Structure 1
Amino acid sequence: MSSNDYNRPVNINGSMFKRAGAWFGLFQRGSVFGDITINLGTCHGMSAKAPDKSRLIDIYPTFEGRKVPYSVTVYPAELTMVTNHGNVRFTFADKTKLMAEGDPGMGLLFEKIMVKHETVRPKKDGAWEALFRLTSSFIFKGLEGSSFDFNGGKNYWNWETLSSDRICGRTHPGPDGRFTLVMEEFPYAGIVRDSYPKYAEAKASMQAQWESFYSKMPKFKEPFEEKRFEVEYTLWSYLCEPYGAAKYTLIQMFAGIMASQWQLCQNAVALQENFDVALDLLLAPLDRASEEGQLADSYDDYAVETQMIKPPIHGWAIKQIMKHHDLLKECPKDKLEMLYKGVGAWGDWFMNYKDDDGDGLPTLEHGDECGLDDSTLFLEHMQVTSPDLAAYLVILFEAVGDLAKLLNKPEAEAQAWYDKSTGLLKRMIDKLWDGEHFVGLVPGTDEKLYSGSIVHYIPAILGNRLPKNIIDKMVDDLTDTEKFLSPYGLASEDMTSDYYYPNGMSIGRGVVVPPAMIYICTGLWETHRREDARLITENYLNGLIKTGFPFLINPKVGFGSGGYYGGSWPRCAYVILGRMVSEG
């Protein structure tokens, strides 16, 4: 690749400028000159308890001390505030140090009303420390002959609020009229360093890290290659390295919001060429499993959300990665053992603790647990034996059997996992296929449930494990342009249904959603209906391009629903499916 292949502009409106591994960044809202806000923001889990959530402090460019309007240009290693008077640039020296520099006359202004217990205070060598409640500490220090202070150098303190109240931080130029500033994050109290890297060194370091990541990712066929750069930049920048309670790499779902358990698995498949990252994403949930094997819903550096779950897709992820990687050669044996034990225990947990009626088919106990929260399959019943869960577990047990073989476990041990998989598949078809559809069951009564939800078609993830007649019936339904197939992908609810409502943040009532697209398309790709899978997949990929990569897409009119742009989830899907169709 040429240098230009690694250094193209990217759009971060609704997202953030961040170096891979960092737990903070510059959050941007708006893209029109004069109508943009940028704040220093955090990705730490404790921010959920903070009054301003992920927002730490607002940042403005100044010229000769006064705020001026600006636009923003972003490249992988640099964000630039562009004004009519000059520019201010930002880059990361490493995962804890954000640096900024300005043209002559340009400066930066930082503003915030501090909440109780939040303070700023002077430190040695002209540095200042800002303590942001429940998140982290930052050291601000002017470099290269320039300086920085809060509140004009006055160490203001309000005893009644136990805070510094309204704060105003400013850069001050050096003899050449320019400033250079370092902002370093600390999990504990801040430390003023004896020396700091130069801005150019920091930028070169960030660029080198990005190039190392991007160079490993495969090219796509056109027209999908054009957007791959920006998509993979977002995924790279959303990575957060081990920190606090998080012993493995995690990834953000949206700026300031961590991805859930099954999203970690999806991103592992998307980023598998960066194998160490992918492996970490698979291991992260297993590291914090319950003694019985349950994986939590979501994770961050502070806590886990354990009262809900997300679908068990580790098996699907492992099988997808094994298509391109020799796990025995690339994965350290101790981590392969951790995968084997943890994923096996996760599958067994469903069979042991989610099958109260003992029919051999586990049950989901809330719509959230299927991942399409308001799926109409759960319209009248909170607890449903759903076909998607059984399908995920069929693949999971098969993948664990594959891992047993790789680890040279006794033949009988490996075969036991395969038997769990084939036995569950038989029960699933016998009890949940009614000749026309996969249905849900009410546990205990076996009342059959069929709705307009795409959840009934998630078993397509099984590919050729399903009989040909079932595959054909499912694909015929899914390619019905009145009901499911749109120019933007598959609707999550039958478009002729009275419950079709592709608005707001409704995930399961009609919008095109990343996980359904990923599982159905990758499954059907392995069958004799590949050309239909290609049509569905390419509709979605083109739909993402046309609509600007929203999380949710209205299947009839094609605009994003719910206002969630900038996230990793649709980009993760784009990489998984773009790779798939580009390979043939």
Structure 2
Amino acid sequence: MPIDLRKVPFSRMGSYVAISLLSARESGKHGKEGLYVRHLRSGGKGPIFLLEPTVNNQPVPYVIQATPIMLRIFPTETDSSDGVIEFCFPHANQLHFRIRGNNLGLRLTMVTGSYDHVTPLGPIQNRVKHDDSYTGISWEVNSYSHGARFLLTPLKGRLCINAPWDGLGCRYIRASFLTEDNQSNGMAEGLIQDYVVIRENLELEVSREDRKASFERSLGIVERDLRNWRERCPEVKIPQTDQCDEPEIHASSLLKGHALASYITWSCIVRQEGFLPSPAMYMSKNYMANVWSWDHCFNAMALFYKNPAAAWEQFCLFFQRQHPSGVLPDYMNDKEASWNCCKPPIHGWTLKWMMERDSSGYITDDKLSEIYSPLARWTQWWFEYRDFDRDGIPQYNHGNDSGWDNSTVFLQGVPVESPDLAGFLVIQMEVLSHVASRLRKTDESKMWQARSKDLLANMFEHFWDGESLHAVYLEPQGSAWRHNPVYCHSLLPYVTIVLGDCLRADIKKWIVSGLKERGAFMTEYGLATEKITSPHYKPDGYWRGPIWAPATMLIVDGLVKLGEKQFAQDIARRFCHMAAENGMAENFSALSGQPLEDTAFTWTSSVYMILAHEYL
């Protein structure tokens, strides 16, 4: 499977390093289009090294071929056009490369910041001096500006370092791996390893095993690891009947989409480090190099079918960094968490979804005991800290809290009481009641059940005016709050469908008919997040138009629970066809299906695999 490095980074499970083809604008201080080694700690601070093939130590034009296993660079228009430079990630902290071709080399250029420098390492007796180059020695590149270190090691051939010192750091760092015909038969090999303080094995020297490892062995490690991951992803189930004219093409497209989705989810996992309590599936290794506190739920769901241990690890991730008040961070990475906003409480809905599919009995009472109190505190937080008017209906204080950042639900202002939030909390308290019952907490089970029923009844009175569901903008008036109905064209109120059979008949009818209405939300590719006839609709308007995976997943699952299976299948097929053909983007144009924003997103990949496995 080829991958386009302008859209999908080359990386692997566990790694904080990725390789991408960037424009001059994206390259930051480098200011040059090219192939870059990027660093993803602290949410991603931009490219580290510009990679360039050289002939006779001069950069030359090249073409790229990339698959999930191996990246290859071919020099063009030179005497060494038959040469090649190959890369793979055998380990999370190790990029292994091989150079084949006389006079061919690989140059790494780093535009430095304050204090960035390079230091030679290794025993003196292993150094063989060639002007400004050495054989058998590692060099540590200490990137103070990126908070990381990189160990550059030549395994075959020689490494030339050009790094003028200015008294405080290096003005720039240029590392060239070169072949030597008389020693390496036109071949060179090297390693780029990243770490924060010291290597995991507590040695700065490259181990003997690393020095002896062949490139073919490294490729075999990557192939095995990715194959094992894919075997534990939910497989595509090709529909027996298909609405497209050429079902064999549809099947091929779905399988192609699965190959991409499984690679993205595998490669976007980073190892446990720093603030992260366990390995975490980042949303992307492009621009969104963090994990958000509702995105992780969809990734956990996709994993749960065949890898429940990994699913549970992702599901519990944020609860291990829960604030004493009960709130979960908005997002986090290896360095920090953000508490300025939060995300919607879909965790009860997620837990219920996983429990309904727990045929292996993985979610034991011990597991439920582990999650019960954190989930209860997260639920109670909304009533204690997000109910300013004390009417029992919690609110979003910003669009970001809903996950639908700029939805027209928030056009009048904030805070906003929204029916989707109440619906999520109804489900969450229902789930807490069930879990408490299993844990023999009878009184607590009854309490959660009563609170769930009360909120359900209250929300119908609060948000339903007899003709439609609406949100409520809380406008401060002196010491009181004025409730202003919010009538808009956003898809967000329709997400209340997650309540399924708990909805009243008239509300069910309004939601389903609204979703089916021609020229409203439904397009050739799925559900727009703003009616396409709305004056606020924008083709690239984030939550004011584009198609999103989480909204699709929530609504498709709700439709199935309402018995609208055929309609749910139709939406799922449209979404899967679009993603299989156009990639696993953060969101998509509702009218063209073209990918928008970040083009290699994990929750899109996970929702794709869930829908293609169960809902087609």
Verify: 1:19 aligned to 2:12, yes or no: yes
Verify: 1:489 aligned to 2:526, yes or no: yes
Verify: 1:569 aligned to 2:603, yes or no: yes
CA 1:102–1:319: 2 relative to 1, 3 Å: same
Moved more, 548-557 or 204-213: 548-557
2:422 aligned residue (390, 395, 401): 390
Which residue in 1 is equivalent to 2:141? 130
Verify: 1:433 aligned to 2:440, yes or no: no
TM-superposed deviation, 1:203: 1.8
After TM superposition, list the pairs within 5 Å mapping 1:372-387 onto structure 2: 372-387=404-419
Counterpart AA for 2:149: S
TM-superposed deviation, 1:103: 1.4
Equivalent residues of 2:296, 2:315 under 8 A apart = yes
Which residue in 1 is equivalent to 2:450? 419
Moved more, 289-298 or 536-545: 536-545
**Aligned mates of 2:61, 2:593 — CA distance in 1:** 33
Counterpart AA for 2:356: K
CA 1:552–1:412: 2 relative to 1, 3 Å: same
Moved more, 447-456 or 540-549: 540-549
1:165 aligned residue (148, 168, 171): 171
Which residue in 1 is equivalent to 2:27? none
Which residue in 1 is equivalent to 2:153? 141
Counterpart AA for 1:291: P
TM-superposed deviation, 1:116: 0.7
2:227 aligned residue (211, 215, 232): 211
Render the CA deviation track for 1:439-477: whole Å, top value 9, x for unaligned: 112333232211111111110122222133322221111
After TM superposition, list the pairs within 5 Å mapping 1:530-545 onto structure 2: 530-545=565-580
Q: Secondary structure at the match of 1:229?
A: helix
**Aligned mates of 1:432, 1:389 — CA distance in 2:** 11
Render the CA deviation track for 1:489-535: whole Å, top value 9, x for unaligned: 111111111111222xx322111122211211111122122211222
Equivalent residues of 1:22, 1:240 under 8 A apart = yes
Which residue in 2 is equivalent to 1:250? 280
Aligned residues: 555
Unaligned runs of 5+ in 1: 1-7, 48-52
Render the CA deviation track for 1:184-204: whole Å, top value 9, x for unaligned: 111114612232133222222
Equivalent residues of 2:584, 2:602 under 8 A apart = no
Render the CA deviation track for 1:216-249: whole Å, top value 9, x for unaligned: 2232134323310111111110011211111122
**Aligned mates of 2:601, 2:301 — CA distance in 1:** 17
**Aligned mates of 2:578, 2:150 — CA distance in 1:** 41
**Aligned mates of 1:527, 1:63 — CA distance in 2:** 65
**Aligned mates of 2:402, 2:375 — CA distance in 1:** 18
Which residue in 2 is equivalent to 1:110? 108
Which residue in 1 is equivalent to 2:399? 367
Q: Secondary structure at the match of 1:318?
A: helix
Q: Secondary structure at the match of 1:184?
A: strand
**Aligned mates of 1:424, 1:71 — CA distance in 2:** 60
Equivalent residues of 1:128, 1:149 under 8 A apart = no
Equivalent residues of 1:463, 1:526 under 8 A apart = yes
Compare CA radii of gyration and give the structure with the larger one: 2
The Cα RMSD (Å) is 2.1
Equivalent residues of 2:234, 2:303 under 8 A apart = no
TM-superposed deviation, 1:573: 2.1
**Aligned mates of 1:331, 1:180 — CA distance in 2:** 47
1:400 aligned residue (404, 409, 432): 432
Verify: 1:194 aligned to 2:207, yes or no: yes
Equivalent residues of 1:15, 1:567 under 8 A apart = no
Which residue in 1 is equivalent to 2:126? none
After TM superposition, list the pairs within 5 Å mapping 1:72-87 onto structure 2: 72-83=64-75, 84-87=81-84
Q: Secondary structure at the match of 2:106?
A: strand
Q: Secondary structure at the match of 2:186?
A: coil
Q: Secondary structure at the match of 1:117?
A: coil
TM-superposed deviation, 1:576: 2.3
Equivalent residues of 2:346, 2:424 under 8 A apart = yes
Q: TM-score, normalised by structure 2?
A: 0.86
Which residue in 1 is equivalent to 2:86? 89
Equivalent residues of 2:257, 2:579 under 8 A apart = no
Verify: 1:555 aligned to 2:590, yes or no: yes
Counterpart AA for 1:245: F
Verify: 1:454 aligned to 2:491, yes or no: yes
Which residue in 1 is equivalent to 2:236? 220
Equivalent residues of 2:161, 2:176 under 8 A apart = yes
Verify: 1:68 aligned to 2:60, yes or no: yes
Which residue in 2 is equivalent to 1:313? 346
CA 1:156–1:335: 2 relative to 1, 3 Å: farther
Render the CA deviation track for 1:330-358: whole Å, top value 9, x for unaligned: 25765533321111211111011111211
Equivalent residues of 1:15, 1:28 under 8 A apart = no
TM-superposed deviation, 1:438: 1.7
Moved more, 314-323 or 360-369: 314-323
**Aligned mates of 1:111, 1:487 — CA distance in 2:** 46
**Aligned mates of 2:579, 2:420 — CA distance in 1:** 25
1:236 aligned residue (266, 270, 274): 266
**Aligned mates of 1:284, 1:438 — CA distance in 2:** 34
Unaligned runs of 5+ in 2: 24-31, 76-80, 123-135, 239-249, 475-480
Verify: 1:184 aligned to 2:184, yes or no: no
TM-superposed deviation, 1:213: 1.1
Which residue in 2 is equivalent to 1:50? none
**Aligned mates of 2:450, 2:61 — CA distance in 1:** 65
**Aligned mates of 2:350, 2:105 — CA distance in 1:** 47
Counterpart AA for 1:187: V
**Aligned mates of 1:337, 1:55 — CA distance in 2:** 43
**Aligned mates of 2:49, 2:446 — CA distance in 1:** 57
Render the CA deviation track for 1:545-580: whole Å, top value 9, x for unaligned: 34333322221233233x431222322221222222
Q: TM-score, normalised by structure 1?
A: 0.90
| Percent identity of paired positions between Structure 1 and Structure 2 | 24
Moved more, 315-324 or 60-69: 60-69
Render the CA deviation track for 1:2-48: whole Å, top value 9, x for unaligned: xxxxxx43444323111111111212347xxxx9722111121164x
Which residue in 2 is equivalent to 1:5? none
